[in-house]
Amino acid sequence: MTAPLFHLGPGALDHAEPGATVEVTGAEGHHAATVMRLGTGEPIVLSDTRSRRVDGVVIRAGTGELTVQVRTVQDEQVRPPRLVLVQALAKDKRDLQAVESATELGVDAIIPWEAARSVARWKPGREVKKHAEWVSTVRSAAKQTRRTAIPEVRELHTTAQYCQLLQRSPTAAAVALHEVDHTPLRSVLAELALTDLTALPTEPEITELYLLVGPEGGISTGELQQLTAAGTLTARLGPTVLRSSTAGPAAIAATQLLLGRWDQP
């Protein structure tokens, strides 16, 4: 079993180097020392929630805190584009299921999307609470899967707001997964010059790739016209119609493979 990972926060590991010590306190210290009961000599992994990762060993265990001696320091580099899941709100927490699995599969950021056919809605006055629920889900999934970086959960977007965002982002590309489209995802990514990036000598011009997943009732015809007018491409994800909770994670996994990222050590 791999060593447990704890997220300390941005900047917490800026001065970490082999042989140095790091104090683990607060909520993560309580979880490590009190809940998991990690003791002296046990391996542990620490993260700054962005790119820096430390492998170490516990040298002191106190009440709700640990002292960790650093063994190795690694700065992870993710080659563009960043994968952004634009997930439509869905009932019965299917949207949260999608967010959790997408995090496990390597998504870099998530945009909650209030689509035209979304049955679930974030009621006025409850937006902060609902956003915090998505953030908590992402944090837990990132920790469970030992991810160094915690994906960013951006603010809730309507279709109009998303279209404005895309039009303001000259280095972003977007693909809506649509069940009646006939173009495979592989072909769309090839059109964007994004397939097997590990074989390319330079980084792609596209810095972010938005993958849009509609709600239970799908993306409406009028909404699809709005999306494509703003520059969103469309693609088919397999021969079957996937649930809102499944399509996003499936798209992330397929894109990771098509970009060649899962071939890297």
What is the rounded CA–CA span in Å between residue 167 and residue 103?
Answer: 26
| pLDDT single digits (tens) 38-66 | 999 999 999 999 999 999 999 999 999 99
Q: Are 175 and 185 in contact (CB under 8 A)?
A: yes
- Domain end (from 25, 49, 75): 75
CATH of the domain at 118: 3.40.1280.10
Check whether residue 70 and residue 89 sit in a common domain. Answer: no
Check whether residue 86 and residue 208 sit in a common domain. Answer: yes
Check whether residue 40 and residue 96 sit in a common domain. Answer: no
AA letter at 251:
A
Check whether residue 86 and residue 212 sit in a common domain. Answer: yes
- Give the pLDDT score at 118: 94
Check whether residue 137 and residue 250 sit in a common domain. Answer: yes
> Has residue 234 been placed in a domain?
yes
Check whether residue 212 and residue 124 sit in a common domain. Answer: yes
Check whether residue 62 and residue 181 sit in a common domain. Answer: no
- Give the pLDDT score at 180: 80
- Give the pLDDT score at 219: 92
Collapsing DSSP to helix, strand or coil, 218 comes out as coil
> Has residue 265 been placed in a domain?
no
> Has residue 122 been placed in a domain?
yes
- Give the pLDDT score at 188: 95
- Listed residue (254, 261, 102, 88) closest to 187, CA to CA: 254
> Has residue 264 been placed in a domain?
no
What is the rounded CA–CA span in Å between residue 131 and residue 93?
Answer: 13
Check whether residue 172 and residue 189 sit in a common domain. Answer: yes
- Give the pLDDT score at 199: 65
- Give the pLDDT score at 205: 87
Range of the domain at 67: 5-75
pTM exceeds cut of 0.85: yes
For 92, the token pair is 């019965």
- Give the pLDDT score at 83: 97
Residue 193: CB atoms within 10 Å:
12
What is the rounded CA–CA span in Å between residue 169 and residue 131?
Answer: 23
Check whether residue 63 and residue 95 sit in a common domain. Answer: no
- Give the pLDDT score at 203: 77
Check whether residue 164 and residue 223 sit in a common domain. Answer: yes
> Has residue 144 been placed in a domain?
yes
Dihedral sign computed on CA atoms, order 117, 122, 128, 132: negative
Check whether residue 157 and residue 43 sit in a common domain. Answer: no
What is the rounded CA–CA span in Å between residue 24 and residue 14?
Answer: 14
- Domain end (from 28, 46, 75): 75
For 71, the token pair is 């063994």
- Domain end (from 75, 90, 119): 75
Domain count, the chain: 2
Check whether residue 27 and residue 91 sit in a common domain. Answer: no
* Residues in the chain where the model's pLDDT stays below 70: 197-201, 265
Cis upstream peptide for 249 (omega within 30°): no
